[in-house]
Amino acid sequence: MIVKKEWKKLGFINEPIAEGTDLKAAIRQMCQEKNAVIMAHYYTEGEVQDVADFVGDSLALAQKAAQTDAEIIVMCGVHFMGETNKILCPDKKVLVPDLNATCSLAESCPPAAFRQFVEAHPGHTVVSYVNTTAAVKALTDVVVTSGNARQIVESLPEDEPIIFGPDENLGNYINSITGRNMLLWKGACHVHEKFSLKKILALKKEHPNAKVLVHPECKGPVVKIADKVGSTAALLKFSIQDEATEFIVATESGILHEMQKAAPQKTFIPAPPDDSTCACNECNYMKLITMQKLYNCLKYEWPTIEVDSEVAEKAVKPINRMLEISAKLGL
């Protein structure tokens, strides 16, 4: 298959799709014909989540990738998620519908600078959040997600010096609940660091019975007022199982799609960002994944995710260590 220069320049395929095409049906049919599986993160557009074989948080997406026997994995999410899949399944074709779907948090940790940081602190175990590039994972001892960070850190000896990167807010939160004193890389997610404590408290006044759900990438003061802190999957589970009928949700607003679907009788209020002039609580990278790009990506089997083999060989070890610990702990 010839990859057009124009596509390479764009990072996605912009071929027009015949008018009247039922995108959902056409995508499902291609999956069957090509033995492809579509995985989607909760932050993608609702229609993308609805066409996927599996929707999950970053831990579940990695676990699924490690188990699939499909020949093609289409990762509807951001680039590091595609990389994780490719590292776990080097013989499979891994596609991400738009290569511009990066992650501000992963980008806040350039591999060369992180290497210097690690080298400046010898004797530390390096724990990295999954929201990192493959090159950073290659410098890591064990990868974590927001769904297992606490348990994995707690599985390390209490006196073990630890470097944690790249999310400073998540690192501070894990330090606070485990009593550890991990050395933190100062990275952040441009969506989660913007939630406004003041506006959430104002919303609480309007909805006194609402429970506040917070992703641990949010800043400390927002995390402190949460009724539940957790990964996207943990927040979703809580919102379904808890007796409350109203929730203020301080994470990327794509998760509301699944919450509303799972509990249509409940009310979910997206937490507002501090700056009303910005496009707010949406991850602009996740929202780059559209049905059109997904259709074209499956049709032409591009853009593929490639990871340098030397980097992949190193990066697979801390990812597998995470999967092994998680399996042992039943996570």
Q: List interacting residues with ligand SF4 (CB under 6 A).
A: 43, 78, 103-105, 131, 189-192, 217, 252, 283, 285-286
255 sits near ligand 13P (criterion: CB under 6 A): no
285 binds, among ligand 13P, ligand SF4, none (CB under 5 to 8 A by kind): ligand SF4
Q: In the complex, what is the shortest distance from the CB of residue 132 to ligand SF4, in angstroms, rounded to a whole number?
A: 10
Q: In the complex, what is the shortest distance from the CB of residue 231 to ligand 13P, in angstroms, rounded to a whole number?
A: 3
Which member of 44, 49, 146, 290 binds ligand 13P (CB under 6 A)?
A: 146
User: Among residues 132 and 232, whose Cβ is nearest to ligand 13P?
Assistant: 232
Q: In the complex, what is the shortest distance from the CB of residue 174 to ligand 13P, in angstroms, rounded to a whole number?
A: 14
104 binds, among ligand SF4, ligand 13P, none (CB under 5 to 8 A by kind): ligand SF4
Classify 249 as helix, strand or coil: strand
Q: How far apart are CA 145 and CA 152, in angstroms?
A: 9
**Can you spell out the DSSP letters for 261-308?**
HH-TTSEEEEPPBS-TTS--SS-TTGGG--HHHHHHHHHHT-SBP---
In the chain, which residue ranges form alpha helices assigned H by DSSP? 5-10, 23-34, 46-51, 58-67, 79-88, 104-107, 111-119, 134-137, 149-154, 168-178, 197-206, 220-224, 232-241, 255-262, 291-300, 309-328
Q: How far apart are CA 41 and CA 31, in angstroms?
A: 18
How far is residue 146 from each of residues 243, 281, 303, measured CA to CA in Å? 24, 18, 28
Q: Which of residues 38-67 bind ligand 13P (CB under 6 A)?
A: 57-58
232 contacts 195 by C-beta, under 8 angstroms: no
Q: Which of residues 174-203 bind ligand 13P (CB under 6 A)?
A: 189
Q: In the complex, what is the shortest distance from the CB of residue 288 to ligand SF4, in angstroms, rounded to a whole number?
A: 10
Q: How far apart are CA 99 and CA 330, in angstroms?
A: 33
Q: In the complex, what is the shortest distance from the CB of residue 74 to ligand 13P, in angstroms, rounded to a whole number?
A: 18
Q: Which of residues 100-139 bind ligand 13P (CB under 6 A)?
A: 131
User: Among residues 57 and 168, whose Cβ is nearest to ligand 13P?
Assistant: 57
User: Among residues 30 and 270, whose Cβ is nearest to ligand SF4?
Assistant: 270
145 sits near ligand 13P (criterion: CB under 6 A): yes
Q: Which of residues 257-296 bind ligand 13P (CB under 6 A)?
A: none
58 contacts 298 by C-beta, under 8 angstroms: no
